[in-house]
Amino acid sequence: MKLTGKTAIVTGGARDIGRAISIKLAKLGANVVVNYRSNEATANETIDLIKAAGGAAIAVKADMTKFADCKHLVDKTVEAYGNDIHILVNNAGGLVARKKLHEMDEEFWDHLMTLNLKSVFMMHKVTVPHMPSGSSIVNLASQAGRDGGGGGASAYATSKGAVMTFTRSMAKELGPQGIRVNALCPGMIATTFHDTFTPDNVREIVANKTPLRREGTSEEVADLVACLASDETSFVSGANFDINGGLAFS
């Protein structure tokens, strides 16, 4: 897989899975734009890691829940690397909190839909006009989008299920332009997401139920993203790929 001469945007690209994706794409030769929302220090650490590996990257602060910020991210990318954007990885999103139906209000529901779903729509909207034929979009969905998620994750799971459907729709719509759109559905990946929201005993139970008997790593997710971003998968579009160690099948 080679991405030499290509430009890639990774939303939420400063830490965990996003950081691993940013580093992987840069190692393969892409000019990477690492988006972050608030933690500049973490973003700069990611840039330093990329440069230490011989890659090229810049960090751009932008809130993916705001259309103006999404456009700003694309504008800064074009300013740095030219008009063509070949790879878009929509990684930004989150669970925010585990809340059951009686605990959720309209504001919380709307925020989750904007954070995980509307952000993906907005980034498609502002990036696609810059994408030439042969470009690739990779959206980060979730295993929760397939199975409904764990306790208190209904809003998150619903938003990620919608990302899967939007991916299929965009594959049909953008295919005639030569743009491929796919998504990943990660299961239990060892990140700060689960450090924050999933108790250790639950993680152990899930790992023991997984045929590979462990959690996945951010680097393993990044490897799959890189494959889908490359020309090695030039006839793959509209697919939602499970990456969960065999725990659940689509």
- The single residue of 156, 187, 229, 241 carrying the catalytic annotation is 156
d(Cα 85, Cα 6) in Å, to the nearest integer? 7
- CA angle at residue 140 from 139 to 143, to 5 degrees? 130
d(Cα 66, Cα 23) in Å, to the nearest integer? 26
Q: In this structure, are residues 140 and 21 in contact, taking their beta carbons and an 8 Å threshold?
A: no
d(Cα 140, Cα 18) in Å, to the nearest integer? 10
Q: In this structure, are residues 63 and 69 in contact, taking their beta carbons and an 8 Å threshold?
A: yes
Residue 208: count other Cβ atoms within 10 Å of its Cβ: 9
Q: In the annotation, is 156 catalytic? A: yes
Q: How far is CA 111 from the centre of its chain?
A: 18
Which residues are known to be catalytic? 156
